[in-house]
Amino acid sequence: MFKLNKKVEYAIIALQHMKNVNEGEMSTVKEICELYGAPFDVTSRAMQKMASAGILKSIKGAHGGYLIQENLGELKLLDLIESISGDISLANCVIDACKCDMISTCNIVDPITRLNELLRKFFAEMTVLDLLQGRESQPQMKEFCHE
């Protein structure tokens, strides 16, 4: 199953929160973690990576925090994902055929490579804002989960 890296998930949670605060209002990792139940260490690393990539601006100090620096309507989802977790690949052979023990006999290298290219294209065409918009009007996942 293809899954987003946890750091990417928490980065998206942070960006969703930050896009809804008042302009110029900083958000802290602690605040985001407390509001959404995200683990502090992983969320902190994701936000540091976004700051290193120029997506967020980090303000140090007692009254510091993070601000969104990049326009989320221009930030491609692919760029966000790769700034946090590196290249997207569905299988080892897509990045480095030498990492696959079956490469000489595998009959799905071409289809997996094509699927990987299509996935990258999809993420490259979608902006982070495209992903985040409309969330408020969508049903909460709790409604679909049974205890």
Q: pTM to 2 decimals?
A: 0.82
**69 touches 55 (CB < 8 A):** yes
More confident residue, 58 or 2: 58
Question: pLDDT per residue over 27-55, tens digit each?
Answer: 999 999 999 999 999 999 999 999 999 99
The mean of the pLDDT values for the chain is 86
Of 125, 128, 146, 144, nearest to 50 by C-alpha is: 128
The pLDDT of residue 138 is: 45
Listed by start position, the domains of the chain span 6-144
Of 11-15, 83-87, 141-145, the range with the lowest mean pLDDT is 141-145
Pick the CATH number of 6-144 from 3.20.20.70, 2.40.50.1020, 3.30.360.10, 1.10.10.10: 1.10.10.10
